[in-house]
A and B are shown apart, each in its own frame.
Chain A
Amino acid sequence: MNKTKSPSSNVISEALCLYRLGVHLLLFFPLSQVQEILADYQEYLSLGRERGTSSEGLLQELKDPAGIRRELLGEMPKGRRFFILWNGGWGILFLLTLYVCLHSFSSYLPPVRVLIPLMISLSVSLFALLHGRARAVLEQQLGILPVKGSFLLLQLFPPALTALTEYAMQWLLVRPPESLPTTIGSWPIGPVISGCLCSLAFLLTLLLIGTLLKVRKCSIQYFPGAIHTLGSIFFLFDMRAILHSMDLDFSDLKMLRREFILPLCWYVAGLLLALLFVFLLRPGKKKQAQKL
Protein backbone atom coordinates (compact mmCIF):
# COMPACT_ATOMS: atom_id res chain seq x y z
CA MET A 1 0.00 0.00 0.00
CA ASN A 2 1.55 3.29 -1.07
CA LYS A 3 1.73 5.92 1.60
CA THR A 4 1.43 9.43 0.29
CA LYS A 5 2.16 12.58 2.22
CA SER A 6 -0.74 14.90 2.82
CA PRO A 7 -0.45 18.35 1.19
CA SER A 8 -0.08 20.05 4.57
CA SER A 9 2.80 17.76 5.61
CA ASN A 10 4.50 18.53 2.27
CA VAL A 11 4.23 22.24 3.06
CA ILE A 12 5.66 21.69 6.54
CA SER A 13 8.63 19.70 5.28
CA GLU A 14 9.26 22.35 2.59
CA ALA A 15 9.17 25.05 5.25
CA LEU A 16 11.62 23.08 7.42
CA CYS A 17 13.99 22.53 4.49
CA LEU A 18 13.86 26.23 3.66
CA TYR A 19 14.38 27.15 7.31
CA ARG A 20 17.42 24.91 7.69
CA LEU A 21 18.86 26.32 4.49
CA GLY A 22 18.16 29.83 5.75
CA VAL A 23 19.90 29.18 9.08
CA HIS A 24 22.93 27.83 7.22
CA LEU A 25 23.04 30.80 4.84
CA LEU A 26 22.75 33.31 7.72
CA LEU A 27 26.33 32.37 8.60
CA PHE A 28 27.49 33.94 5.34
CA PHE A 29 24.89 36.41 4.17
CA PRO A 30 22.81 39.12 5.80
CA LEU A 31 19.13 38.51 6.48
CA SER A 32 17.83 40.52 3.50
CA GLN A 33 19.84 38.44 1.03
CA VAL A 34 18.84 35.18 2.68
CA GLN A 35 15.17 36.24 2.52
CA GLU A 36 15.53 36.95 -1.20
CA ILE A 37 17.11 33.57 -1.83
CA LEU A 38 14.47 31.72 0.18
CA ALA A 39 11.66 33.69 -1.49
CA ASP A 40 12.82 32.39 -4.89
CA TYR A 41 12.79 28.78 -3.71
CA GLN A 42 9.51 29.16 -1.90
CA GLU A 43 7.88 30.66 -4.98
CA TYR A 44 9.18 27.74 -7.07
CA LEU A 45 7.87 25.18 -4.57
CA SER A 46 4.43 26.81 -4.27
CA LEU A 47 4.06 27.07 -8.07
CA GLY A 48 5.14 23.45 -8.40
CA ARG A 49 2.42 22.45 -5.92
CA GLU A 50 -0.19 24.56 -7.75
CA ARG A 51 0.62 22.97 -11.08
CA GLY A 52 1.01 19.48 -9.69
CA THR A 53 4.63 19.12 -10.81
CA SER A 54 7.20 17.41 -8.65
CA SER A 55 9.62 19.56 -6.71
CA GLU A 56 11.57 16.56 -5.42
CA GLY A 57 14.69 17.72 -7.25
CA LEU A 58 14.68 21.10 -5.55
CA LEU A 59 13.80 19.59 -2.17
CA GLN A 60 16.78 17.25 -2.47
CA GLU A 61 18.97 20.26 -3.22
CA LEU A 62 17.53 22.18 -0.28
CA LYS A 63 18.58 19.30 1.97
CA ASP A 64 22.17 20.01 0.98
CA PRO A 65 22.65 23.57 2.24
CA ALA A 66 26.43 23.28 1.92
CA GLY A 67 26.11 22.71 -1.83
CA ILE A 68 23.86 25.74 -2.28
CA ARG A 69 26.15 27.79 -0.07
CA ARG A 70 29.18 26.88 -2.23
CA GLU A 71 27.39 28.00 -5.39
CA LEU A 72 26.27 31.24 -3.78
CA LEU A 73 29.72 32.01 -2.38
CA GLY A 74 31.07 31.51 -5.88
CA GLU A 75 28.77 34.32 -7.06
CA MET A 76 28.95 36.44 -3.91
CA PRO A 77 32.44 36.10 -2.42
CA LYS A 78 31.69 38.91 0.07
CA GLY A 79 29.92 36.20 2.04
CA ARG A 80 33.27 34.86 3.21
CA ARG A 81 34.20 38.28 4.59
CA PHE A 82 30.86 38.53 6.34
CA PHE A 83 31.43 35.07 7.85
CA ILE A 84 34.86 35.98 9.16
CA LEU A 85 33.93 39.42 10.49
CA TRP A 86 30.60 38.53 12.10
CA ASN A 87 31.38 35.11 13.48
CA GLY A 88 35.00 35.89 14.19
CA GLY A 89 34.22 39.07 16.09
CA TRP A 90 31.39 37.67 18.20
CA GLY A 91 33.22 34.37 18.60
CA ILE A 92 36.27 36.07 20.09
CA LEU A 93 34.09 38.04 22.50
CA PHE A 94 32.21 34.90 23.51
CA LEU A 95 35.35 32.82 24.11
CA LEU A 96 37.08 35.63 25.99
CA THR A 97 34.07 36.16 28.24
CA LEU A 98 33.70 32.42 28.80
CA TYR A 99 37.35 32.16 29.79
CA VAL A 100 37.06 35.05 32.24
CA CYS A 101 33.85 33.60 33.75
CA LEU A 102 35.34 30.13 34.20
CA HIS A 103 38.54 31.61 35.61
CA SER A 104 36.53 33.73 38.03
CA PHE A 105 34.62 30.74 39.34
CA SER A 106 37.79 28.78 39.99
CA SER A 107 39.23 31.45 42.26
CA TYR A 108 37.90 34.07 44.64
CA LEU A 109 34.92 35.76 43.05
CA PRO A 110 35.08 39.39 42.02
CA PRO A 111 31.99 41.46 42.87
CA VAL A 112 28.66 40.72 41.24
CA ARG A 113 28.76 44.15 39.55
CA VAL A 114 31.77 42.90 37.54
CA LEU A 115 30.43 39.44 36.77
CA ILE A 116 26.91 40.48 35.74
CA PRO A 117 28.27 42.41 32.71
CA LEU A 118 30.29 39.30 31.87
CA MET A 119 27.09 37.25 31.92
CA ILE A 120 25.40 39.80 29.69
CA SER A 121 28.37 39.75 27.31
CA LEU A 122 28.31 35.95 27.21
CA SER A 123 24.61 35.71 26.38
CA VAL A 124 24.59 38.60 23.90
CA SER A 125 27.62 37.25 22.00
CA LEU A 126 26.06 33.77 21.88
CA PHE A 127 22.79 35.29 20.64
CA ALA A 128 24.68 37.12 17.90
CA LEU A 129 26.61 33.98 16.92
CA LEU A 130 23.31 32.14 16.58
CA HIS A 131 21.92 35.06 14.48
CA GLY A 132 19.04 35.12 16.93
CA ARG A 133 16.92 37.97 15.62
CA ALA A 134 17.38 36.95 11.96
CA ARG A 135 16.37 33.36 12.75
CA ALA A 136 13.29 34.58 14.59
CA VAL A 137 12.22 36.58 11.51
CA LEU A 138 12.75 33.54 9.25
CA GLU A 139 10.79 31.30 11.63
CA GLN A 140 7.92 33.73 11.65
CA GLN A 141 7.88 34.07 7.87
CA LEU A 142 8.11 30.33 7.25
CA GLY A 143 5.61 29.49 9.97
CA ILE A 144 8.05 27.41 12.03
CA LEU A 145 6.51 27.03 15.46
CA PRO A 146 8.54 25.41 18.22
CA VAL A 147 6.84 22.74 20.28
CA LYS A 148 7.04 24.12 23.77
CA GLY A 149 5.08 21.75 26.03
CA SER A 150 7.77 19.66 27.71
CA PHE A 151 10.31 22.43 27.24
CA LEU A 152 8.26 24.78 29.41
CA LEU A 153 8.01 22.09 32.08
CA LEU A 154 11.80 21.72 32.07
CA GLN A 155 12.11 25.47 32.57
CA LEU A 156 10.51 25.04 36.00
CA PHE A 157 13.56 23.04 37.03
CA PRO A 158 16.08 25.92 37.36
CA PRO A 159 13.90 28.20 39.55
CA ALA A 160 12.82 25.21 41.64
CA LEU A 161 16.43 24.18 42.21
CA THR A 162 17.47 27.75 42.93
CA ALA A 163 14.68 28.27 45.44
CA LEU A 164 15.32 24.91 47.09
CA THR A 165 19.06 25.52 47.37
CA GLU A 166 18.59 29.01 48.76
CA TYR A 167 16.02 27.77 51.25
CA ALA A 168 18.32 24.91 52.31
CA MET A 169 21.28 27.25 52.86
CA GLN A 170 19.19 29.75 54.81
CA TRP A 171 17.75 26.92 56.89
CA LEU A 172 21.25 25.66 57.67
CA LEU A 173 22.31 29.14 58.74
CA VAL A 174 19.50 29.65 61.23
CA ARG A 175 20.12 26.28 62.88
CA PRO A 176 22.28 26.43 65.99
CA PRO A 177 25.77 25.34 64.94
CA GLU A 178 25.89 22.67 67.60
CA SER A 179 22.76 21.05 66.10
CA LEU A 180 24.40 20.64 62.69
CA PRO A 181 26.15 17.36 61.97
CA THR A 182 29.85 17.64 61.23
CA THR A 183 29.81 14.57 59.00
CA ILE A 184 27.38 12.78 56.75
CA GLY A 185 28.33 9.13 56.83
CA SER A 186 32.08 9.30 56.90
CA TRP A 187 32.27 12.49 54.84
CA PRO A 188 32.74 15.94 56.35
CA ILE A 189 29.65 18.06 55.83
CA GLY A 190 31.42 20.87 53.95
CA PRO A 191 32.57 18.74 50.99
CA VAL A 192 29.21 16.95 50.94
CA ILE A 193 27.33 20.23 50.54
CA SER A 194 29.87 21.38 47.97
CA GLY A 195 29.49 18.08 46.09
CA CYS A 196 25.70 18.42 46.12
CA LEU A 197 25.94 21.92 44.69
CA CYS A 198 28.31 20.69 41.98
CA SER A 199 25.97 17.83 41.11
CA LEU A 200 23.04 20.19 40.80
CA ALA A 201 25.15 22.50 38.64
CA PHE A 202 26.08 19.51 36.49
CA LEU A 203 22.39 18.58 36.03
CA LEU A 204 21.60 22.15 35.04
CA THR A 205 24.55 22.15 32.66
CA LEU A 206 23.06 19.07 30.97
CA LEU A 207 19.77 20.96 30.69
CA LEU A 208 21.65 23.95 29.26
CA ILE A 209 23.43 21.81 26.67
CA GLY A 210 20.14 20.10 25.75
CA THR A 211 18.47 23.48 25.32
CA LEU A 212 21.30 24.81 23.15
CA LEU A 213 21.05 21.67 21.00
CA LYS A 214 17.33 22.37 20.65
CA VAL A 215 18.20 25.92 19.59
CA ARG A 216 20.61 24.60 16.99
CA LYS A 217 18.31 21.92 15.60
CA CYS A 218 14.83 23.33 16.02
CA SER A 219 14.20 26.95 16.87
CA ILE A 220 15.85 30.05 18.29
CA GLN A 221 12.79 30.46 20.56
CA TYR A 222 14.42 28.01 22.97
CA PHE A 223 17.35 30.39 23.52
CA PRO A 224 15.81 32.38 26.43
CA GLY A 225 15.40 29.05 28.24
CA ALA A 226 19.15 28.45 27.94
CA ILE A 227 19.96 31.85 29.49
CA HIS A 228 17.42 31.25 32.24
CA THR A 229 19.24 27.97 33.06
CA LEU A 230 22.62 29.72 32.87
CA GLY A 231 21.55 32.11 35.64
CA SER A 232 20.81 29.17 37.93
CA ILE A 233 24.16 27.53 37.12
CA PHE A 234 26.01 30.73 38.02
CA PHE A 235 23.96 30.93 41.23
CA LEU A 236 25.07 27.43 42.24
CA PHE A 237 28.73 28.10 41.42
CA ASP A 238 28.63 31.36 43.37
CA MET A 239 27.03 29.59 46.34
CA ARG A 240 29.76 26.96 46.28
CA ALA A 241 32.51 29.58 45.96
CA ILE A 242 31.13 31.47 48.98
CA LEU A 243 31.03 28.28 51.04
CA HIS A 244 34.64 27.56 50.14
CA SER A 245 35.96 31.05 50.67
CA MET A 246 34.16 31.98 53.85
CA ASP A 247 35.15 31.45 57.38
CA LEU A 248 31.65 30.76 58.64
CA ASP A 249 31.36 32.96 61.70
CA PHE A 250 27.92 32.23 63.07
CA SER A 251 28.12 35.17 65.46
CA ASP A 252 27.14 37.57 62.69
CA LEU A 253 24.13 35.72 61.34
CA LYS A 254 22.64 38.72 59.54
CA MET A 255 25.82 39.24 57.51
CA LEU A 256 25.99 35.53 56.72
CA ARG A 257 22.38 35.41 55.54
CA ARG A 258 23.00 38.43 53.34
CA GLU A 259 26.08 36.77 51.82
CA PHE A 260 24.00 33.74 50.92
CA ILE A 261 21.21 35.85 49.39
CA LEU A 262 23.59 37.71 47.04
CA PRO A 263 24.05 34.73 44.68
CA LEU A 264 20.35 35.09 43.84
CA CYS A 265 21.47 38.09 41.74
CA TRP A 266 22.76 35.54 39.23
CA TYR A 267 19.42 33.84 38.93
CA VAL A 268 17.58 37.16 38.70
CA ALA A 269 20.07 38.39 36.07
CA GLY A 270 19.57 35.18 34.08
CA LEU A 271 15.79 35.53 34.33
CA LEU A 272 15.82 39.19 33.28
CA LEU A 273 18.14 38.41 30.36
CA ALA A 274 15.88 35.54 29.33
CA LEU A 275 12.87 37.88 29.38
CA LEU A 276 14.86 40.39 27.32
CA PHE A 277 15.57 37.73 24.71
CA VAL A 278 11.90 36.66 24.73
CA PHE A 279 11.13 40.30 23.91
CA LEU A 280 13.80 40.43 21.17
CA LEU A 281 12.50 37.22 19.63
CA ARG A 282 8.86 38.27 19.61
CA PRO A 283 7.04 38.42 16.24
CA GLY A 284 8.42 41.32 14.24
CA LYS A 285 6.73 44.35 12.82
CA LYS A 286 4.61 43.94 9.68
CA LYS A 287 7.38 45.17 7.34
CA GLN A 288 9.79 42.46 8.38
CA ALA A 289 7.10 39.89 8.91
CA GLN A 290 5.82 39.81 5.34
CA LYS A 291 5.41 36.23 4.23
CA LEU A 292 8.24 35.01 2.10
Chain B
Amino acid sequence: MDTQIKKGILEMCILKCIAEEPLYGYDIIQRMHVHFPEVGESAFYTILRRLHKDGAADTFMGTTSGGPARKYYRITEQGQVRLNEMIADWQHLKTIIDEMGI
Protein backbone atom coordinates (compact mmCIF):
# COMPACT_ATOMS: atom_id res chain seq x y z
CA MET B 1 0.00 0.00 0.00
CA ASP B 2 1.22 3.52 -0.78
CA THR B 3 2.95 5.09 2.25
CA GLN B 4 0.94 8.30 2.26
CA ILE B 5 -2.39 6.50 1.94
CA LYS B 6 -1.35 4.11 4.68
CA LYS B 7 -0.35 6.95 7.00
CA GLY B 8 -3.77 8.57 6.73
CA ILE B 9 -5.60 5.29 7.18
CA LEU B 10 -3.52 4.29 10.19
CA GLU B 11 -4.19 7.61 11.84
CA MET B 12 -7.91 7.25 11.30
CA CYS B 13 -7.89 3.66 12.63
CA ILE B 14 -5.91 4.62 15.74
CA LEU B 15 -8.26 7.53 16.47
CA LYS B 16 -11.21 5.16 16.08
CA CYS B 17 -9.61 2.74 18.58
CA ILE B 18 -9.06 5.36 21.24
CA ALA B 19 -12.44 7.00 20.58
CA GLU B 20 -14.08 3.79 21.81
CA GLU B 21 -12.06 3.71 25.02
CA PRO B 22 -8.72 4.98 26.38
CA LEU B 23 -5.96 2.50 25.61
CA TYR B 24 -2.27 2.24 26.24
CA GLY B 25 0.30 1.97 23.46
CA TYR B 26 0.79 -1.77 23.60
CA ASP B 27 -2.93 -2.53 23.31
CA ILE B 28 -3.38 -0.04 20.45
CA ILE B 29 -0.52 -1.63 18.52
CA GLN B 30 -1.73 -5.18 19.16
CA ARG B 31 -5.18 -4.27 17.82
CA MET B 32 -3.69 -2.54 14.81
CA HIS B 33 -1.34 -5.46 14.10
CA VAL B 34 -4.35 -7.71 13.55
CA HIS B 35 -5.21 -5.64 10.44
CA PHE B 36 -1.79 -4.21 9.57
CA PRO B 37 0.75 -6.89 10.48
CA GLU B 38 3.43 -5.44 8.17
CA VAL B 39 3.54 -2.05 9.91
CA GLY B 40 6.29 -1.71 12.52
CA GLU B 41 5.76 -0.73 16.13
CA SER B 42 7.86 2.40 15.78
CA ALA B 43 5.57 3.65 12.99
CA PHE B 44 2.57 3.35 15.32
CA TYR B 45 4.38 5.16 18.10
CA THR B 46 5.31 7.93 15.66
CA ILE B 47 1.64 8.34 14.75
CA LEU B 48 0.63 8.35 18.42
CA ARG B 49 3.18 11.07 19.15
CA ARG B 50 1.95 13.09 16.20
CA LEU B 51 -1.64 12.79 17.35
CA HIS B 52 -0.59 13.91 20.83
CA LYS B 53 1.44 16.81 19.45
CA ASP B 54 -1.46 17.93 17.22
CA GLY B 55 -3.87 17.80 20.14
CA ALA B 56 -5.98 15.01 18.65
CA ALA B 57 -5.09 12.74 21.57
CA ASP B 58 -3.93 13.30 25.07
CA THR B 59 -2.24 11.01 27.54
CA PHE B 60 -2.64 10.16 31.17
CA MET B 61 -1.03 7.67 33.53
CA GLY B 62 -3.35 4.91 34.61
CA THR B 63 -3.06 1.52 36.27
CA THR B 64 -4.75 -1.78 35.55
CA SER B 65 -5.50 -4.31 38.31
CA GLY B 66 -2.67 -3.25 40.59
CA GLY B 67 0.01 -3.26 37.89
CA PRO B 68 2.50 -0.46 37.23
CA ALA B 69 1.26 2.85 35.82
CA ARG B 70 0.98 2.89 32.03
CA LYS B 71 0.63 5.76 29.61
CA TYR B 72 -2.92 5.78 28.25
CA TYR B 73 -4.07 7.58 25.12
CA ARG B 74 -7.55 9.03 24.81
CA ILE B 75 -9.20 11.07 22.10
CA THR B 76 -9.80 14.78 22.61
CA GLU B 77 -12.64 16.90 21.23
CA GLN B 78 -10.32 18.13 18.52
CA GLY B 79 -9.42 14.53 17.77
CA GLN B 80 -13.09 13.55 17.57
CA VAL B 81 -13.71 16.33 15.04
CA ARG B 82 -10.69 15.20 13.05
CA LEU B 83 -11.87 11.57 13.16
CA ASN B 84 -15.34 12.54 11.94
CA GLU B 85 -13.80 14.51 9.06
CA MET B 86 -11.53 11.62 8.15
CA ILE B 87 -14.41 9.14 8.19
CA ALA B 88 -16.49 11.48 6.01
CA ASP B 89 -13.57 11.90 3.57
CA TRP B 90 -13.05 8.16 3.48
CA GLN B 91 -16.71 7.42 2.80
CA HIS B 92 -16.79 10.05 0.09
CA LEU B 93 -13.69 8.50 -1.48
CA LYS B 94 -15.25 5.05 -1.23
CA THR B 95 -18.37 6.30 -3.01
CA ILE B 96 -16.32 7.76 -5.87
CA ILE B 97 -14.33 4.55 -6.28
CA ASP B 98 -17.52 2.46 -6.24
CA GLU B 99 -19.09 4.76 -8.86
CA MET B 100 -16.05 4.42 -11.08
CA GLY B 101 -16.43 0.66 -10.88
CA ILE B 102 -12.94 0.08 -9.48
A interface residues (Cβ-Cβ under 8 A, vs B): 36-37, 39-41, 43-44, 47-48, 53, 57-58, 61-62, 67-68, 71-72, 74-75
Q: How far does the alpha carbon of A215 sit from the alpha carbon of B70 in the complex, in Å?
A: 33
- For the complex, would chain A's binding face be called helix, strand, loop or mixed by DSSP majority? helix
Which B residues have a C-beta under 8 Å from some C-beta of A?
24-26, 29-30, 40-43, 45-46, 48-50, 53, 70-71
A58 contact set on B, CB distance < 8 A: 40-42
Say how far A132's CB is from chain B's closest CB, in angstroms.
26
Out of B24, B43, B53, name the residue touching A43 (CB < 8 Å): B24
Contact of B26 among A48, A72, A74 (CB under 8 A): A48
Chain A residue at smallest Cβ distance from B52: A36
Q: Are A44 and B26 interface neighbours, CB within 8 A?
A: yes
Measured between beta carbons, the chain B residues less than 8 angstroms from A71 are 42-43, 46
- Are A44 and B41 in contact, with the CB atoms below 8 A? yes
Contact B26 A68, beta carbon cutoff 8 Å? no
Which B residues are in CB contact (< 8 Å) with A67?
Answer: 42
Is B50 a contact of A47 with CB atoms below 8 Å? no
Cβ-neighbour of B45 out of A41, A47, A53 (below 8 A): A41
Q: Contact between A39 and B71 (Cβ–Cβ < 8 Å)?
A: yes
Q: Are B25 and A72 in contact (CB under 8 A)?
A: no
A37 in contact with B26 given A58-B40, A75-B50 (CB within 8 Å): no
Q: Are A43 and B70 within 8 A (Cβ)?
A: yes
List, in ascending order, chain A residues with CB within 8 A of B41's CB.
41, 44, 57-58, 61
- B9 → chain A, closest Cβ, in Å? 17
8 residue pairs bridging A and B, Cβ less than 8 Å apart = A40-B48, A41-B41, A43-B26, A44-B26, A48-B26, A53-B30, A71-B43, A75-B53
Best-buried of A36, A37, A44 by chain B (most CB within 10 Å): A44
Q: In whole angstroms, what is the CA distance A74 to B46 when docked?
A: 9
Give chain B nearest CB distance to A261 CB in angstroms: 57
Given that A47-B26, A48-B26 are known contacts, is A40 also in contact with B40, CB under 8 Å in the complex?
no
Q: In the complex, what distance in Å separates the CA atom of A44 from the CA atom of B50?
A: 18
Please name all residues of chain B whose beta carbon is closer than 8 Å to the beta carbon of A68 when the two chains form the complex: 42
A72, B42: Cα distance in complex, Å: 9
Instruction: Indicate if the CB atoms of A72 and B40 lie closer than 8 Å.
Output: no
Q: Output the residue of A41, A53, A67, A71 with the most chain B CB within 10 A.
A: A71
Q: How far is the CB of B90 from chain A (nearest CB, A)?
A: 22
